[in-house]
Amino acid sequence: MKYLKPSFLFIGSVFFTLAVHASGACPEFPYFQPKNGPLALVNCDFHVQYEKRVIQIMNSFGTPDGRPVILNLGGALLLKYNGRTENVNITPSTYHNLKSFAHAAFAIFLVLSSTPPGPLSTATQNTLREIQKNLQLAAKSLTKLEFSTQERDNTKKLADLTNAYLAQLLLRPYYTRRDLDTYYKNARPLMLKSGKMAAEIELTLLNKAVNRWLSQMTPQEKNRIGIVVATAHQARAQEISLQYFARKFKLKFGEGAVNENGFVVMEDKFDEASALKLLARHFLDREAAKIIFNDPGRLQRDLLADGGKAVLNSANFK
């Protein structure tokens, strides 16, 4: 009987395989075409093996023999290295407070952008009045915030200017494009100065953490490091930590993923699992492209890109 059990298991697995092949089902990836027939199974084989390899690479990040990884997840900086994970906050409360006062100036545009110049509706007035009330309360707390003298002075000027413009809007109550332009002409340098102050806070803490981490690594580990920077959509263009890492590690970033090599940008997601999976796909694609296309960066462009360019340059598209 002990010889029959494996036989039954083998026969059962054969019937299961035949059933799956007969239906052409790919339960792991039901959204890929073709959905049925032998080619569905061929396609399924690829996707299953690809995701399996992605998980293997992810699991190797930060292990004693694996690749060191630095993740900047919207100000939460993570190092995965030598079997441990370390977290550093590079956007403390002062950073967020500086940006929040500037956001009050931005909020005025957001409210008025849906209202043509002229009289303000009751609903719009109520919204502006609420913004004014909240900003006035925030301005009263300025002395309690951990601001430097320069940070406090600039923030107070911006808050006073914004409060004065809100009072003007609510007193009339209407607005003109000229008045709005004048307000932003005066607010702009103060907003940009706040931005520079916030950037200095973030970059100083980022540099301190990265230098400390790099001091623990061998030259070989530094060369193998993987970096993910999470950004909001469009913010990736010259995002300050992208600029920092590019300069620090002599890396490139730009349009899409064309220049990415161990340095990956993730848009509109800020969680560790998504960052690690994206980085694993990046390294897997470069590994595959090097063998298959003799070009490590080939899969960082659309696989159909070269063919598409040739087609669009043909006579049919002139």
Return the half-sphere exposure (C-beta side, CA atoms, 13 A cut-off) of residue 123. Answer: 4
Q: Which stretch of DSSP H or E encloses residue 284? A: helix 272-292
Could you list the pLDDT tens digit for every one of the 318 residues in the chain?
444 444 433 344 333 343 444 455 688 888 888 888 888 889 999 999 999 999 999 999 999 999 999 999 999 999 999 999 999 999 999 999 999 999 999 999 999 998 999 999 999 999 999 999 999 999 999 999 999 999 999 999 999 999 999 999 999 999 999 999 999 999 999 999 999 999 999 999 999 999 999 999 999 999 999 999 998 876 556 678 878 888 888 877 665 566 678 888 888 899 999 999 999 999 999 999 899 989 998 888 788 878 888 888 888 886
Cα–Cα distance, 268 to 259 (Å, whole number): 20
From 98, 178, 163, 103, select the one nearest 128 (Cα to Cα): 163
End-to-end CA distance of the chain: 74
What distance separates the 2 farthest-apart alpha carbons in the chain? 95
- Tokens for 55, please give them: 């998980």
Report the relative pairing of strands 263-267 and 174-175 from DSSP bridges.
Answer: unpaired
Secondary-structure percent of the chain, ordered helix, strand, coil, rounded to 5: 60, 10, 30
